[in-house]
Amino acid sequence: MVRILEKYQSKSITPVDDYECTLSDELIKAAKDLLGETSEIRDKCLTEFREWIWNNPRIEKCRMDSKFLLRFLRINRFSMQHAKECFERYLILREGIYGCDWFTNLDLNRSGLQEVLNDGLYVVLPTKAVTGETIVLVRCEASNPSHKDAGNIAFCVSTLVMETVFEEEENQIRGYRLILDMSKVKLSHYFMFSFSTWFRILKHVERTFTGRHISCSIMGLNPATRFISNLIIKNMREKMRRVVSCLSGPQELDFLDTKYLPIDLGGEYTIEQLMEPLKKTLDSWKDLFLRYSEMKINRKYYTDAVLKCDSGTLHHTLENKSAKLLTMYPDENENN
């Protein structure tokens, strides 16, 4: 097996490993019940996934370690067709939004990033939901829209934090819950990107997100931000809309003990206390994060619309020849 895995290494930025299951019996059962995962299905799909990446000329470099690939297999319940599409769109999105470097510059020391981290834009709460999921709190006020690079930094922090959350196999299986605190958000926060860029990002993130989104609780909307948020929710896929709820405040969060929230939301923790473990986790990942910029697609294979992440391209799969999303196919290589 080791010799077979070595074949893929030249295309991977991480060691290509033979998956070793360290899940508890409870998680093994949950994975089977929720995702249809068994050891036989998992091993078969990992092998097929790697072979597809290896033979796909559109993908030049990526992560091919088991835990990373399982994120795409699990979120798509081991449907290879959907996992492959999700994976390739993931790579395109993070290289394809022009003017944005929130995936290709995951440097923890980049200007302004530590300030946003310290202010607690993203917080992983030190408790689980009553049903067992990890809880991520997004304090939208912590992103300063007056900063010249505010949008990129905010999405960079989002990528850094959520990559670490999804790396945990328990989170891949059980899913996670998101809380958005919008109580101090101003209209200027929405103008960190153009609305067309926001729309492209959000529509693609819907398709490439590798976390099982159990719930999204939005708190503190004022009339102006409620209008915009409702417009965004209206344009979400039905699957995403079903998990979104708008709450008046933290007292309506019935899936956790609110004492674990920050003090300004009625909890007992300072932002510094909440951020300390997350910052240690991010620091332990810093070398790999810097290597994310090495993940590359071969841009010549895609149309401009795909590379610009136009939302209309999501209506078809990349392999649908009639949709004309690719400029050439593998069987045409020898002629190009």
Q: What is the pLDDT of residues 146-199, one digit of tens each?
A: 777 888 888 899 999 999 999 999 999 999 999 999 888 877 777 777 777 778
- The pTM of the full predicted model, rounded to 2 decimals, is 0.92
pLDDT at 331: 66
**What is the fold, at CATH topology level, of the domain defined by 2-96+329-335?**
Helicase, Ruva Protein; domain 3 (1.10.8)
pLDDT above 80: residue 141? yes
Phi-psi region for residue 139, left (φ > 0), alpha (ψ -120 to 50) or beta? beta
Element (H, E) at 243: none
What is the sign of the dihedral through the CA atoms of 49, 173, 168 and 182?
A: positive
pLDDT above 50: residue 336? no
Per-residue DSSP letters for 117-171? Answer: HHTTSEEEEEEE-TTS-EEEEEEGGGS-TTSTTHHHHHHHHHHHHHHHHHHSHHH
pLDDT at 72: 97
What confidence tier does 332 reach under pLDDT thresholds 50, 70, 90? low
pLDDT at 192: 75
Contact assessment for residue 65 and residue 12, using Cβ atoms and an 8 Å cutoff: yes
pLDDT above 80: residue 221? yes
**What is the fold, at CATH topology level, of the domain defined by 113-288?**
Phosphatidylinositol Transfer Protein Sec14p (3.40.525)
Residue 7: C-alpha distances to residues 55, 167, 192 (Å): 11, 24, 43
Q: What amino acid is encoded at 83 in this protein?
A: A
Q: Which of 222, 160, 212 is nearest to 190 (CA)?
A: 222
Where do the domains of the chain lie? 2-96+329-335, 113-288
7 or 329: which carries more pLDDT confidence? 7
pLDDT in tens, 125-139: 999 999 999 999 999
Helix axes 271-284, 150-167, angle to 10 degrees: 70
Residue written as tokens 């799969």?
Answer: 317
Residue 326 pairs in a beta bridge with 302
pLDDT at 98: 59
* 2-96+329-335 and 113-288 have identical folds: no
Percent of the chain with pLDDT strictly greater than 70: 96
What confidence tier does 235 reach under pLDDT thresholds 50, 70, 90? confident
233 vs 206: CA distance, rounded Å = 12
Q: Which residues contact 109 (CB under 8 A, 6 or more apart)?
A: none
Report the pLDDT averaged over residues 16-23: 96
- Kindly give the pairing relationship between strand 134-139 and strand 122-128: antiparallel
pLDDT at 97: 67
pLDDT at 333: 55
What confidence tier does 39 reach under pLDDT thresholds 50, 70, 90? very high
pLDDT above 80: residue 297? yes
pLDDT above 90: residue 226? no
Counting every residue, how long is the chain? Answer: 336
Dig out the tokens for 230 from the structure.
């409702």
Alpha carbons within 13 angstroms on the beta-carbon side of residue 189 total 18
Element (H, E) at 60: strand 59-61
Q: Which of 43, 88, 87 is nearest to 68 (CA)?
A: 87
Percent of the chain with pLDDT strictly greater than 90: 68
Residue 97: C-alpha distances to residues 38, 102, 201 (Å): 37, 9, 8
